[in-house]
Structure 1
């Protein structure tokens, strides 16, 4: 094992220890209009990943207020780190997919929903990082 491989293995093991949340990464289904009730209902989506992760607010995130419909929304950036050794899902995550925090040592994070905004890939990374934002 080369010095680089040894350093990456140590870094990946350390990154795994920081993954204290359990998340679900899923793609929402298409919305369907019900002509009888006159309502829009989302179809069932697909789960792309479920398991341990680190959910951390981005250091650069200051919270940007924007108008969404008829209300103000504050956008906050997060980085969600999943083990580098995780098998990639059959379908790659893409912007618009959702991440839900199902459990965390910080009870305030449970139920947090994040929208995927981007992905980061690298053969020398210590974790698979997903950029996301909180739109509350």
Structure 2
């Protein structure tokens, strides 16, 4: 007969030794679910984790109780908090204005870079045009000199 593990709900066979029975509530559990290795011996009074949670615990009045660390703030601290909040809001407003000015400066710089790039492109085109004219002029002069030398000979 197959048993169902009370912890995981999977079916298990009693022959392979992979299950244990709680000595208190008689629930069947897989050894893997309760962390007990196959073949390991159990204490005669072993109880499953579910039973241990339900088991009543004794009241130990000798256990020291940690005092509460929360205290009530007095009114002067509350008013200081309000003043700090107002100062913080003013600082945030100033920071926001500075940030907006910074963004405007970045846009100005971006526009200047774009203008410089356009001027560089125009100058590059002028230089290329000038080189082309120089080559044409030099070719024309050398062709004329060649024609003159042929005519003289």
TM-score normalised per structure 2 = 0.15
Q: Which has the larger share of strand?
A: 1
Q: Which has the larger share of helix?
A: 2
Considering Cα pairs closer than 8 Å and 6+ residues apart, tell me whether 1 or 2 has the greater RCO: 1
